[in-house]
Amino acid sequence: MVTPELSPEVLAGLRGRVRIPDYDPESVRVGQVHLGLGGFHRAHQAVYADSVLARHPGCAISAYTWRNAELADALTAQDGLFTVVTADEDREARIIGSIRRARSAAAHPARFAAEVADPAVTVVTLTVTEKAYPQTSDGHLDTGNPAIARDRVREEPGESVIGLLTRALAERARRTTRPLAVISCDNLSGNGLVTERLVHEFAQQHPVYREAELSAWLAGHVTFPSTVVDRIVPGPAEALGAEVRGLSGVRDAAAVLTEPYRQWIIEDRFLGERPPWDEAGAVFVPEVAPYEQLKLRVLNAAHTALAYPGLLAGQDNVREAVTDPAIRAGVEDLIDQEIIPHLPVVEADPAAYAATVLRRFANPEVPYSLAKLGADGSQKIRQRLAPTAVAALERGHPPHRVAAVLASWIRWVVHCAREQPDRLMDPHSAALLEIARTHRDESVALRILDTIPVVPERLSADPVFREEVLAGLRTASR
């Protein structure tokens, strides 16, 4: 017998086998536009929306991948339906119906802009990764970024996320006065503030939007709440398709596996309606900073600290790295000796939080790939580890554990340059490979510190920090 594809027609027949939407997906309306439709969005924001749609039928999502047309087509073929499998003992499978439309933004930029301009839309969410927010070392829009530079002089920008988003907001300004919230769900410190600043700067620098005084309009109609999102969602796994077929009896080309834990903290900064995601467990707070510092500086930093030693040891996923005694000891020392002592005051118990995080990393059901974790190191180190080193230096403590993480990333760059250049995934990979090929030993590290903005200048120019990075490289090579 041919296994049927997931579709609205088969949904009712799945009741009892898997959890299905408690509303009719075909009768809900889009109130949210999302950019960055990957596994994380499907297992996070889409689940929150799914949980509130029965009571709030205007909260469905129109989601855009950045370039991946294949995924958008696969979801469209399933009428937006997909399965989330939660990796706990009973492997719950739940069909999510909140994504009503899926397209690629690169292929449909005008459509994206028109949807953001729709007065029924009250919120735009983004999961576009750190590199989509190009910043100079002092936090301004990086006009040297090639996509930004080209978008700045295009009548209809769309090559960069910031350009496309600003274009969509300009369209909204022409169409409605209803307020909108743009919510970045990326692992950046002050993600709302960063998005707001970059969009305003783009609007001020683009000739048409400057003329239209878009920035002033934005100030009165669009807020950019900061958020902290947390859920470990490993990349696509081949075995998942077969598991979903076993659980629900249907084929699903967009199924996603996730750990049970999820968290969404959102700054309460809305001019209009606030999305009712709190009914699904999201928490609105006046200030996200304490949550953000804990999550970025402990969880994300530990992830990054595990990635490079693990990759260099030939490991495949984070569980292998966190259960390797030597690598684990290094991360525990980093957390205990440098991260926790230099955290700003947080309400939670950071040591208990860190212990939970390391347990989550060791979950055998969630094999998060080190290749994915190690990608975009230049962006991640800056966000996750640099603030700890800055705080340590301010108190006169040489941050040798953070420097050791930077050293392990540099060793990974050198390894890739020598043996597997394709494995270095980074917006700066061309420059990094070039440095690693044309410099020797310690001068590789110094050249990287001098030319690649992996840490703020406050660190890259600091003699103590530079010496610590070199010491980290020497220790590793002994």
User: Binding residues for ligand CS2, per CB under 6 A?
Assistant: 187, 230-232, 300, 303, 372-373, 380
CB of 98 or CB of 300, closer to ligand CS2? 300
Which residue has its beta carbon closest to ligand CS2?
Answer: 303
Residue 256's DSSP bridge partners are: 84
Look up residue 372 and give its two tokens.
């994915």
Q: Answer for the pair 121, 114: CB distance below 8 angstroms, yes or no.
A: no
Report in angstroms how near the CB of residue 379 gets to ligand CS2 at its nearest: 9
Distance of CA 61 to the CA centre of its chain: 18
Q: How far is the CB of 156 from ligand CS2 (least distance, A)?
A: 32
Residue 156 has phi, psi (to 5 degrees) of: -125, 90
Nearer to ligand CS2, 265 or 393 (CB): 265
Read off the tokens for 367.
């094999």
In whole angstroms, the minimum distance from the beta carbon of 411 to ligand CS2 comes to 19
Minimum distance, C-beta of residue 139 to ligand CS2, in the bound complex (Å): 21
Q: Identify which of residues 373 and 459 has a Cβ nearer to ligand CS2 in the complex.
A: 373
Helix (H) or strand (E) holding 257: strand 256-258
* 201 vs 230, beta carbon nearer ligand CS2: 230
DSSP, residue by residue, 236-256? --HHHHHHHHHHHSSB-TT-E
Query: Strands 123-126, 180-184: parallel, antiparallel or unpaired by DSSP?
Result: parallel
> What is the closest distance, in whole angstroms, from the C-beta atom of residue 106 to ligand CS2 in the complex?
22
> Within 317-422, where are the H helices?
318-322, 325-333, 350-361, 370-374, 377-384, 386-394, 400-419
Q: Least distance from C-beta 263 to ligand CS2, angstroms?
A: 8
297 or 380: whose CB is closer to ligand CS2?
380
CB of 241 to ligand CS2, least distance (A): 22
Dihedral of alpha carbons 151, 157, 160, 163, sign: positive
Sequence-distant (6+) residues with CB within 8 A of 273 are 122
Q: Nearer to ligand CS2 by C-beta: 265 or 452? A: 265
Q: Which is nearer to ligand CS2, 145 or 187 (CB)?
A: 187
